[in-house]
Structure 1
Amino acid sequence: MTDDQLPDVSGMPKIERAAILMMTLGESDAAEILKHMGPKEVQAIGSAMSKIPTVKRNVVEAVVQSFIDDVGMHTGLGIGSDDYIKSMLTQALGEEKANGLIDRILMGGNTKGLDTLKWMDGRSVHDIIKYEHPQIQAIVIAYLDPDQSAEVLGLFDEKQRLDIILRVSALEAVQPSALQELNSILEKQFSGTAGGQTASMGGVKCSANIMNMMDSSIEADLMDAIKEVDEELGNQIEDLMFVFDNLVDVDDRGIQALLREIQSDSLIIALKGADDSVRDKFLKNMSKRAGELLMDDLEAKGPVRVSEVETAQREILATARQMAEAGEIVLGGAEDMV
């Protein structure tokens, strides 16, 4: 079959294409690739693979050809150079996530103990750090992904929660001695030693990302507590937070890209608790037929628990943030573009 006979898979969600590609490999090769992925990626790939129905041969060939084309576009000389690695990681992960990874790869930092925590559920991480000094707790919370950080933070009592988020907001860089102390705490369960370079983590943006992922009731109480201690800091965090209703400010091209990456079932539940303006934003970026089906599904869905709505909205926001970090969409609208 020639390339011009292959179906167009560019509109297929990337995670689905990745799952199909993984399923074309042998078990040993697929397992080897999974070893190089983080917990979030493994979970996402595994979930996508389990949901894939029977796939036609020409679709598989199209996905494989698309992968080969992408590899051809991004392959170059000088892979061993620091500049190439920095550029590659920044393009792939976004500047914020890439910075920490660049530090560990290029500067010899070793955070194996911290990375191991990312594979644990929130309760397990909380049990490990709950008796540690609040500054150690803050470093761990700042290092984890925002959704996991929010889960762990939510397990502390209100007073501890406030203390930790204030410390996260004040973090800019972690000295080697602090990393050594943290790794010595974790070495009973994991192996690892600290590197000699400072590591960038934390800050007001980190706190805002964590707050975005918390349950709305906890987030509201914590925000009030922060403002009582430092109103200016609370306002800074609030300004950086991006909630589901803010998607109305994303440009149409961004919404269309987001629609290709999210599940329709999640969108239906998320829109049950959203403003009409957000619902209309999604509808205007769908085909007439898809919009009619969405409205029918919304009406047929009936009452939905608030917790289910919030979970669906957080999942969609997490996808939107990942796409923003990869430069695929801009959160906040066209006026933020330069």
Structure 2
Amino acid sequence: MSRAGKSKAITDAARLTGPEKAAVVMLALGEDHTRIWESLDDEEIKEISQAMASLGTVAASVVEELLVEFVSGMSASGAIMGSFEQTQRLLSSFMPPEKVDNLMEEIRGPAGRTMWDKLGNVNEAVLANYLKNEYPQTVAVVLSKIKSDHAARVLTCLPEDFALECVQRMLRMEPVQRDILDKIEQTLRVEFMSNLARTSKRDSHELMADIFNNFDRQTEGRFIAALEERNREAAERIRALMFVFEDLSKLDPGGVQTLLRAVEKDQLGLALKGASDALREMFFSNMSERAAKIMREDMDGMGPVRLKDVDQAQMAMVQVAKDLAAKGEIMLAGAGGDDELIY
């Protein structure tokens, strides 16, 4: 498990790695010294960020030993806490949001508070493919720490002779020393979890649906029509995965109001110029009477508008909606069905 999951604070500076020591210093400096980050290259930022995210609590004596002159500027307890939230907040102060999100996703890996929780959310074939190159004793430790049903599926995916050897090691296994367990966790984090996000492949139809979502209306129609002639099944699957402007009609009232607060008013008016009457009224009904009246007047005052401009405004609104959904602030039903969710 990560250091954050331990009950005791880190009390020995000698046990910290170089990146972990750097992470302690950066956390102590806080958000007012973000220019230091700007002098680091991407690999250095990534290495320190990974150490920071799994650091946990660091005792005051360790912080004082590493950076005495900054002790007085720390919290009353003299301790600092390294966490995903603190790491993300610091990175966000100087890195673009998209870059921060990608980095944090890579650091986090599959959902779960501890390393063993995370492994439980990794596909058994993917996990088995990694473990088959490890020592049977290491695999035995890993399988003993994850849930039994998941361990069973992983064993099934391993070569039979190797799986039996792992089973025998598990039967003879004694309690594992803490430092050995820490080393296994660190290896899993560095060699497996950090690479998982980069090596996992997106479904090709999902990727194409995203690309088609960014076409203008005429180009999208042309490509879909041509694809239907050559591969109707692929075209239908892509169409089902696409999320288009009219799908915003599936938002609940709370979601509509959240989206309205996040979208620029001139962009909203332009997008609604090309919307169906039903979708237009849905947005108006979630505004105050005065705001809806002003919006209608603004739209009338636009006069004729180019289809290209309307498409761009609608695509921008869809992107805002997707961003809000990714943050958990609204829920989007996908075009493929009422139960499908887009995050």
What is the TM-score of this pair, normalised by structure 2?
0.43
* Structure number with higher relative contact order (C-alpha < 8 Å, ≥ 6 residues apart): 1
The structure number with the bigger radius of gyration is: 2
